[in-house]
């Protein structure tokens, strides 16, 4: 069942994937395993997107298929929804202070969520103090700072500085993205890594906290 569901997800065959999910649940397949297979398929769709084979509508459609599978699986999970234990890890994302661009951020949030991570989206124009509070409240080990404008680079640096001052820097990995981000900007801000698209954010997160 696992390989078949993964392949159906990769081929974006919605009805076939939903039918197989229903059949598998009736046969007693562990619903958590079904979600894991479905997410693996979404991850492969993301790789095709990163390689230019698939495009944003394909990525979004794969997410919709996953939502449909999740809806079928929910009644079999006991609590009626996935709990934190079944999520791969927590990630905080936000567009830094002074920047209101959110298209790239939203795609990262969507892609991380579809790959099984619990994402805390702080929104746009987020002050550094809010990132610090979110780390304390959620215990997240990964923080993503987004920014499109060049002025965002200073805001990223100041945000990472605030995390350092709060003595939280050693407990989190920080990635940045958006606009003309490169290794020089990464070094300037003090981030651990940078990503050029949503799938790179997923790969960085997997490398840091698994998945």
The model's pLDDT over 23-44, given as tens digits with 9 standing for 90+, comes to 999 999 988 889 889 988 988 9
pLDDT tens digit string along 66-93? Answer: 889 988 988 887 654 444 446 789 999 9
2-76 CATH choice from 2.160.10.10, 1.10.1240.10, 2.40.440.10, 2.40.50.140: 1.10.1240.10
User: pLDDT confidence of 211, banded at 50, 70, 90?
Assistant: low
Q: Are 191 and 70 in contact (CB under 8 A)?
A: no
pLDDT tens digit string along 110-152? Answer: 889 888 899 999 999 999 999 999 999 999 999 999 999 899 9
Q: Are 73 and 25 in contact (CB under 8 A)?
A: yes
| pLDDT for the residue numbered 88 | 84
DSSP helix, strand, coil percent of the chain (3-state; round to 5): 60, 10, 30
Residues 6+ apart with CB under 8 A from 41: 5, 6, 7, 8, 9, 10, 17, 62
So where are the chain's domains? Answer: 2-76, 87-209
Burial of 52 (0-12, 13-18, 19+ CB in 10 A): exposed
What CATH superfamily classification does 87-209 receive?
Cobalamin-binding domain (3.40.50.280)
- Location of structure tokens 């995390």: 163
Q: Are 124 and 149 in contact (CB under 8 A)?
A: no
Instruction: HSE, CB side, 13 Å, CA atoms: give it for residue 60.
Output: 5
> Regarding predicted confidence, which is higher, 60 or 201?
201
């Amino acid at each position: 069942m696992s390989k078949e569901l993964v392949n159906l997800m990769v081929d974006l065959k919605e009805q076939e994937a939903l039918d197989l999910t229903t059949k598998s649940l009736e046969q007693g397949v562990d619903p958590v395993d079904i979600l894991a297979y479905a997410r693996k398929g979404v991850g492969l769709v993301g790789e095709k997107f990163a390689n230019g084979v698939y495009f944003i509508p394909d990525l979004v459609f794969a997410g919709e298929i996953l939502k449909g599978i999740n809806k079928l699986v929910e009644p079999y999970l006991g609590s009626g929804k996935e709990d934190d234990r079944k999520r791969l890890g927590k990630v905080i994302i936000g567009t830094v202070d002074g920047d209101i661009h959110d298209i790239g951020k939203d795609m990262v949030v969507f892609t991380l969520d579809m790959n099984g991570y619990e994402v805390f989206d702080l929104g746009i124009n987020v002050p550094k103090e809010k990132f610090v509070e979110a780390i304390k409240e959620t215990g997240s080990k990964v923080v993503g700072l987004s920014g499109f404008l060049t002025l965002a680079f200073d805001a990223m640096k100041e945000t990472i500085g605030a995390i350092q001052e709060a003595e939280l820097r050693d407990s989190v990995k920080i990635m940045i993205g958006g606009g003309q981000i490169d290794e020089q900007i990464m070094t300037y801000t003090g981030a651990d890594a940078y990503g050029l698209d949503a799938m790179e954010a997923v790969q960085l997160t997997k490398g840091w906290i698994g998945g």
